[in-house]
Amino acid sequence: MSTRGRFVGGGAMLLATCAAPPAHALEEAVAKGRAALGSGWQYPWYDAPSDGIRKVRVRETWDWPNWTWGGGSSWSFDWVQWLVWGLIALLLAVVAYFLIRAYLRRENRQAGAAIPGADLQTIDDAERIAALPFAVKARGLDLLEEARRHYLAGRYSQAIVYLFSHELVQLDKRQFLRLAKGKTNRQYLREVREAPAVRGLLEQTMVAFEAAFFGGRALDRRQFEACWNRVGEFDRLTGQVTP
C-alpha cells in the first residue's frame, strides 16, 4: 500500500472513531433523558414504564363570555371563580336590601303625609315603637295616655308596660339612647350611664316592668305609683340634661 493509501485509510478510521461515541455514553444519555421526562409534571404525554407516549385527555376550559365547558356536566372553573361570583351575589343582595328599605321608608312617609293631621314626627314615633324590645299597641301612638288609661282602670301590670315604653321612646327622641331591634334593656341602661339621674329613673321603671312582663307578677297600686309619680321628674331631666 502506498503512503497516500495508508494516510487516507488512517484518516477514515480516525473520523469513524470520533463520530461514534462509546456505547456506555449513549446508554447514560438515554437514561438521563428518561429521568428528565419522567420526573416533571410538564411532560404528561410521556409514559415512563413503557418509555413511550401515552394518551392525554384534554378538557376545554371555561370560555367567557360563551360559557362553554367540556367533560359533560363537569364545570371547569375553580373555587376562586365560585368565590368571586358568591361575593358579587352577596353585594347585589345587600344593595337590593337597602334600596327596598329606602323605598318602603319613603312610601311610609308619603302615606303619612297624605293622612290629614299626620306629620313626619308621627311616622318617626311609629318607627320607634316598632323598634321596642316588646310589642305594644297604642291608640294614636300616645304611650303615656295608654299607661294612664290602664292605671285608672286598676290594671297596673299593663300600665307599667306602657310607661316603660314611653320612657324608652322619649329617651330615643331626645338622643339619650338609640332604639333598635335586638337590643336588651340592660344595653339601654348602659347607653344612659352619662346621665345618672335619668338612668336611675329608667332602671326603677324597668325593674317593675320586667317583674310584670317577664316575671308574670301582678303589680299593686303602690308599686306602679312609685314609678308613675316620677313622670314629671323624668320629663324635666330629659328636657334639660344634655347626654
Higher pLDDT, 137 or 238: 238
> pLDDT tens-digit profile of 51-60?
667 676 766 6
Per-residue confidence band for 77, with pLDDT thresholds at 50, 70 and 90 = low
Share of residues in the chain with pLDDT > 90 (%):
34
Q: Find the angle CA(134)-CA(227)-CA(187) to the nearest 5 degrees.
A: 45
Higher pLDDT, 109 or 102: 102
The HSE-up count of residue 138 (CA atoms within 13 Å, CB side) is: 28
Between the two ends of the chain, the Cα-to-Cα distance in Å is: 126
Q: Pairing state of beta strands 52-53 and 46-47?
A: antiparallel
Element (H, E) at 23: helix 23-39
pLDDT score at 125: 77
> pLDDT tens-digit profile of 134-192?
777 766 668 999 999 999 999 999 999 999 999 999 999 988 999 888 889 999 999 99
Report whether 67 contacts 76 (CB < 8 A). Answer: no
Phi, then psi, of 198 in degrees rounded to 5: -65, -40
Per-residue confidence band for 117, with pLDDT thresholds at 50, 70 and 90 = very low
Q: State mean pLDDT over 21-27.
A: 63
pLDDT tops 80 at residue 47: no
Helix (H, G, I), strand (E, B) or coil at 53: strand
What whole-number distance in Å separates Cα of residue 202 and Cα of residue 214? 17
pLDDT tops 60 at residue 76: no
Strand partners, 47: 52
What whole-number distance in Å separates Cα of residue 88 and Cα of residue 144? 48
Cell numbers representing residue 194 in the block: 352619662
What whole-number distance in Å separates Cα of residue 224 and Cα of residue 139? 21
pLDDT tops 80 at residue 108: no
Enumerate domains of the chain plus CATH numbers.
121-240 (1.20.120)
List of residues 6+ apart from 30 with CB closer than 8 A: none
